[in-house]
Amino acid sequence: MDSNPGTAELEKRIQRLLEAPKAQPMTRSELARALEVASKDRANLRQAIRNLEERGAIEEYKKSRYGLPRPASAKGETWVGVVEFPSPGKVRNGWIEANDESRRTLRARIGKESVFFGERNSSTALPGDTVRFSVFQGPPPAWQRHVKKFREEPRARWEAKVEEIVRRKRQQYVGTLHLERGYGRIVPDEPAFHRDCDTDTAALPPGAEDRCKVVFELTAWTSPLRNPKVKVVRVLGPMGAPGVDILSIIHRYDLPLDFPEAVLLEASTAPIEVSAEEAEGREDWREAFVITIDPFDARDFDDAICVRRLDYGGWELGVFIADVAHYVRAGGAVDKEARKRGNSVYLVDRVIPMLPFHLSNGICSLNPHVDRLTHAVIMEFDAQGHRTKSRFAKAVIRSQRRFSYEEAFALLDQPVQNGTGGDALFSQALHEAWNLAGRLRHLRMEHGSLDLDFPEVKVILNEAGEPIDVRLVVYDISHQLIEEFMLAANEAVAEFIKNRQAGAIYRVHEDPDPEKLFDFRELATAYGHPVGDVTIKNELQKLLRAIRGKPEEHVLKLSLLKSLKRAVYSEEPFGHYGLAKQNYCHFTSPIRRYADLVVHRVLEKLATSPETARPLPKKPELAETAEHLSTTERTAASAEQESKLLKQYEYLMRLMREKKDVSFEAVVTEILPRGAFVELQSLQLRGLLKSADLPLGYELEPRMQRIIGPRGKIVARAGMIIPVRVLRVDLERKHLDFTLVTGHRRRAEDEGSRH
C-alpha cells in the first residue's frame, strides 16, 4: 500500500474492492480497514467516496454501507433472451443472448445483442433457459484499464438482470438421490443448479434407494437462496452400476436411444452395394488413387481424397463425399428423423448415429475396395497453393486404402519411399498430399486464421465399459492434411452457392465481444506474456505463436476459445472469424451432420441435375433448420465432453483403488488462498491443490502467485509444471483434489522464464 494514497488512487482501490465477485456493501470504517488506510488519510477516503457517489460508480445502501449501484432498469424496458453460463457451478456469471424479437430493439437501446449478467442478478436461471431481463449500467469492466482509449475515461458496462423465467430449456434433469432419515435430497448433475434439490420421499417411485441415479422434474424454485423443489420421475439404477453412468448422460441430454420402426424400415430398402445402373452417368474415379484417413476406431467414412501433381507445378485435389442425398429421400421418414437428431453423438462408449446403421456404416460409408457413390469437389491449385479452379460432379469411387491417422503419420514422418508398389505408392501419395496441404495451411494462417488445435483425449474401455487407459492423441500433420482439404472443399462449395444467390445453410463465426477478449488478455498477461490490442487478429496470432510448446499453452488456448463466440449455422453467409474465411459451409460430413445433407441437395440442384433435384428451400425454412441444428450440435458437444470426463474420473478412481502410485505432470493455472488450480497435461483435467493438503512446510502466496517450500524456497509459480498425485475424486460433483509430490526439480526453462 502507498504510504500516503491520493484521492484518485483510493477511488480505483474502492472500485476494485467492491467489484470483486463476492464483495458485500461496506461502511467507511470497513473500507478503511480493508484498504489499510491510515487515520491521517481518512479525509482522502471520504472525498474518494463522495466522488464515486457523484459519478454514480457506487451507491449508499442502508446503515451507511457502500456498494455498486443497484440495478435500475433502462426506463422499465425488458427484453427476452437465452441464458448462457460459460463456467456453470463456479460463479454464476454469464451472458444473455437476445432472441429474434428483442435483438433489434436491444441493439438500438444499448448497441449490443448479448449482455453480461453477474451472479447476484442471475435469479434461478439455468443454461439455455429463456428469460425476461432488464438492463442497467454497472461499473466499467476491469479490462478497460488496459486499453489506452479507456484509461482516462472508462465507460460503464451494460449489465442484465434476470426478471422472470419465461421457459425452461428442459423439463427433466438427472441427479443422485440421497436419503437421510426420511429426508430426500438430490445432487443435480447439472452444475448450474449450484444448490441441492429437495424431494418428497413419500412420492418416490419403486426402486429409489440411497445414492441411485434418478431423473427428476423441477416443480418449484422461487429464489436462488432456497433449494429447488423437485419430483423424481424415473430411477436409472445404483450409482456406479455398469452402464448407469452413460445412461444418466443420455437422459440428461434427452438423446434418442432407438430409431422408430418406420425409419428402420425405410432405411432397409437401400441397396447393400452400388449397381451398374447407379454408377452410370457418373464420373468414374475407381482407378484413381483415392484414399481415406480417419481415426483408428472410426466406423463410418464419409470423405476420401485424391491428389495429383500437375505438369505446370500445381495440384489437382479431388475431395469425394458420400452421396447420402442419393439414398435419403427429402421429406421421408429417414430424412425427418435425421433432421430431428441434427447430428451423430459420439459418446465415449457408443455412437448415437444420425442415420440408421444400414446407411451410416453400409452403403453410404466409403469403405475400401468397394464401389461407392460420391458428391465430388474437384479443385486446382497453383504452385503457391492458391485455388484457381473448382468444379462439382457426381462420381463413383473405389477407395484404394483406409488409413488411420496413426498409419498415415507413420508414412509422413519418414522420407518419401521410392518404388512402384506396396507402401511406396502410398508414401508418395501422402507426401504429395502434404505438399499441398502444408501450403494451404500456411496461406490460411497468413490470412488471419487462428491456430486453436488441441490434442484429443481418448479413453480406452474394456468390454464391461470400464476405462483401462487414457491416451493423448496429438493433432499432427496427418490430421492437418485432412482438415485443410475439407476446409478447401467447404469453402469452394459455399462460394459457389453464394455466387449463385441460392439459399443454403452456412457455417458462421461472428467477431468476438471485446469484453470477453480482454478477460483473456488479463490471463495471458498474468502468465507473463506481453499482449497488445487483442481485438486485432495479428496480436492474437502473435500470442498463439509465442505460447506454442509452453506449459501454459493449453490453458491459454482454452481460455481464448471460451472468449470467442460459438460457431453456429445460419441461412446467411456472414463469414467465419476463426478460420478467416468470407464464405464457409459444412459439406464434407453428411453421414453425421444434417447441415451437410441440406448443402448437398442445394449443390445438386445448382450444379449437377437441376431438372430432377428437389426445389430449393426457402429462407424461413433454412433459418428454422439452422437454429435447430445449432442447438443439437451444442447438446451433442456437451454430452460427448461429459461422457469423456466421467470415464476419465473413473479411470483415476481405478488407479486409486488398485493403489497404483501414479504421479502426473500438471500446469499451475491459478493460485488462490484456498488452493492452487492445476491441470493435468496428459488428461487435460483440472483440479485443486488445497492449501490444507500441502506437505508440512509448504504454503501458498496468492498475491505473488507462487508456492513456497521449506526455508522460503520457491517451489512453483503460475504457469510452471509440477508433479502431483490424485488425492480425492468426487465423481458426483465432478471435482478432483491433488497433493504435491515433493522432492522434485523444477524445469530449468520454467524457472528461468518466471524470475
Q: Which has the minimum average pLDDT: 83-97, 360-374, 479-493, 676-690?
A: 83-97
For residue 1, pLDDT over 60 is answered with no
pLDDT of residue 384: 95
Model confidence at 753, pLDDT cuts 50, 70, 90, reads very low
Question: Which domain-ending residue is among 167, 189, 211?
Answer: 167
Q: Which has the minimum average pLDDT: 42-46, 171-175, 282-286?
A: 42-46
Span 402-423, pLDDT tens digits: 999 999 999 999 999 988 777 8
Q: Give the separation between CA 305 and CA 294, rounded to whole angstroms.
A: 12
pLDDT of residue 19: 79
pLDDT of residue 54: 74
Give the H or E element holding residue 646: helix 619-657
Taking alpha carbons only, the member of 429, 430, 427, 407 closest to residue 417 is 427
In a domain, residue 656? The reply is: no
What pTM was computed for the model?
0.80
| Whether residue 550 is found in the same domain as residue 581 | no
In a domain, residue 651? The reply is: no
Mean of pLDDT values over 11-34 = 83
Mean of pLDDT values over 729-750 = 72
Taking alpha carbons only, the member of 243, 353, 340 closest to residue 298 is 353
Cell of 93: 456469471
Give the H or E element holding residue 507: strand 506-508
| Whether residue 88 is found in the same domain as residue 208 | no
* Residue 289, helix vs strand vs coil: coil
Which is higher by pLDDT, 403 or 104? 403
Which is higher by pLDDT, 54 or 490? 490
For residue 476, pLDDT over 90 is answered with yes
For residue 746, pLDDT over 60 is answered with no
For residue 583, pLDDT over 90 is answered with yes
| Whether residue 145 is found in the same domain as residue 185 | no
What domain range includes position 539? Answer: 514-564
| Whether residue 307 is found in the same domain as residue 347 | yes
Q: Give the separation between CA 680 and CA 554, rounded to whole angstroms.
A: 10
For residue 183, pLDDT over 60 is answered with yes
In a domain, residue 448? The reply is: yes
Would you put residue 696 in left (φ > 0), alpha (ψ -120 to 50) or beta?
A: beta
In a domain, residue 249? The reply is: no
For residue 580, pLDDT over 50 is answered with yes
Residues with Cβ within 8 Å of 562's Cβ and at least 6 positions away in sequence, in order, are 86, 516, 520
| Whether residue 90 is found in the same domain as residue 53 | no
Give the H or E element holding residue 468: strand 467-473
Model confidence at 754, pLDDT cuts 50, 70, 90, reads very low
Q: Which has the minimum average pLDDT: 155-159, 490-494, 520-524, 558-562?
A: 155-159
For residue 735, the domain's CATH number is 2.40.50.140
For residue 235, pLDDT over 80 is answered with yes
pLDDT of residue 42: 83
Contact 75, 136 (CB under 8 A): no
For residue 126, pLDDT over 60 is answered with yes
For residue 740, pLDDT over 70 is answered with yes
| Whether residue 443 is found in the same domain as residue 383 | yes
Give the H or E element holding residue 339: helix 333-341
Q: Which has the minimum average pLDDT: 145-154, 191-200, 485-494?
A: 145-154
pLDDT of residue 531: 83
In a domain, residue 653? The reply is: no
Q: Which has the minimum average pLDDT: 498-507, 550-559, 669-678?
A: 550-559
- pLDDT averaged over every residue in the chain: 88
Question: Which domain-ending residue is among 118, 147, 167?
Answer: 167
For residue 196, the domain's CATH number is 2.40.50.700
Which is higher by pLDDT, 214 or 13? 214
pLDDT of residue 144: 52
Phi, psi of 501 (to 5 degrees): 55, 40
Centre a 10 Å sphere on the Cβ of residue 100 and count the other Cβ atoms it contains. Answer: 9
How long, in residues, is the chain? 755
Which is higher by pLDDT, 719 or 485? 485
Which is higher by pLDDT, 17 or 3? 17
Model confidence at 379, pLDDT cuts 50, 70, 90, reads very high
Mean of pLDDT values over 23-45 = 85
H-state helical runs in 233-301: 244-252, 261-268, 276-279
Contact 116, 159 (CB under 8 A): yes
Cell of 40: 491521517
For residue 28, the domain's CATH number is 1.10.10
| Whether residue 145 is found in the same domain as residue 182 | no
Mean of pLDDT values over 733-744 = 83
Cell of 27: 461502511
pLDDT of residue 403: 96
For residue 130, the domain's CATH number is 2.40.50
* Residue 570, helix vs strand vs coil: strand
* Cα dihedral 323→326→331→332 (10° resolution): -110
Give the H or E element holding residue 29: helix 28-34
In a domain, residue 251? The reply is: no
Give whichever of 33-42, 92-101, 458-467 has the largest mean pLDDT: 458-467
Q: Which has the minimum average pLDDT: 4-18, 82-96, 179-193, 667-681?
A: 82-96
pLDDT of residue 145: 54
For residue 3, pLDDT over 50 is answered with no
| Whether residue 205 is found in the same domain as residue 326 | no
Q: Give the separation between CA 675 and CA 689, rounded to whole angstroms.
A: 5
Amino acid at 582: Q
pLDDT of residue 140: 66
| Whether residue 603 is found in the same domain as residue 709 | no
In a domain, residue 459? The reply is: yes
In a domain, residue 599? The reply is: yes
Which is higher by pLDDT, 16 or 340? 340
Percentage of the residues of the chain whose pLDDT score is greater than 90 = 56
Give the H or E element holding residue 678: strand 675-680
Model confidence at 291, pLDDT cuts 50, 70, 90, reads very high
Q: Which has the minimum average pLDDT: 89-93, 477-481, 740-744?
A: 89-93
Span 422-445, pLDDT tens digits: 789 999 999 999 999 999 999 999
Question: Which domain-ending residue is among 167, 193, 216?
Answer: 167
* Cα dihedral 493→497→503→508 (10° resolution): 50
pLDDT of residue 747: 43
- Crossing angle of helices 594-603 and 333-341, rounded to 10°: 130
Overall domain count for the chain? 6
Percentage of the residues of the chain whose pLDDT score is greater than 70 = 92
Residues with Cβ within 8 Å of 98's Cβ and at least 6 positions away in sequence, in order, are 79, 80, 81, 106, 107, 113, 114, 115
Span 312-322, pLDDT tens digits: 899 999 999 99
| Whether residue 131 is found in the same domain as residue 88 | yes
For residue 56, pLDDT over 80 is answered with no
Question: How far is CA 245 from each of CA 531, 639, 649, rounded to the nearest angstrom?
Answer: 43, 12, 12
For residue 752, pLDDT over 70 is answered with no
pLDDT of residue 5: 63
| Whether residue 420 is found in the same domain as residue 524 | no
Mean of pLDDT values over 134-152 = 63
| Whether residue 292 is found in the same domain as residue 308 | yes
Span 681-720, pLDDT tens digits: 888 899 999 999 999 889 999 888 889 999 888 888 888 8
Contact 404, 296 (CB under 8 A): yes
Residues with Cβ within 8 Å of 479's Cβ and at least 6 positions away in sequence, in order, are 405, 453
Taking alpha carbons only, the member of 166, 157, 59, 154 closest to residue 123 is 166
Q: Which has the minimum average pLDDT: 11-15, 16-20, 350-354, 609-613?
A: 609-613
pLDDT of residue 357: 96
